[in-house]
Homo-oligomer: A and B are copies of this chain.
Amino acid sequence: MSKTLLQFDFPFQGPWGAEMPAAMEGLAADIASEPGFLWKIWTENAETGRAGGIYLFASPEEAEAYRVKHAARLEGFGITGITAHAFAVNDALSAITKAPL
């Protein structure tokens, strides 16, 4: 097993910033309990109208299971145009650039 980075982003119309947690806190707690979940950084850009997240999972299989589940959830929210990419992490280069792994 090797750590897998999962990158989601999609068109989003808010709520943004401090208003987002009230709507999303329950979801965040649920996401944190997913199998193989290590961490998620929540991303948002009100100017470009995009939001998403950067995730680290313990294995490619767990990242893929979450990708399928989360894409379906976003589509259930009416979100379209979802971009999701999974990547291996290059540990040697990431160590040189102080990555929090």
Contacts and interface: CB of A to CB of B under 8 A. Distances in A.
A96 B29 contact: yes
Interface in A1-37: 5, 7, 9, 17-18, 20-21, 24-25, 28-29, 31-32, 37
Contacts of A24: 93
Interface of A: 5, 7, 9, 17-18, 20-21, 24-25, 28-29, 31-32, 37-46, 48, 50-52, 54, 83, 85-90, 92-94, 96-101
A20 B89 CA distance: 11
B42 A97 contact: yes
| Copies of this chain in the oligomer | 2
Q: Which 4 A-B pairs have CB atoms at the shortest separation, nearest pair first?
A: A100-B100, A43-B87, A40-B97, A42-B90
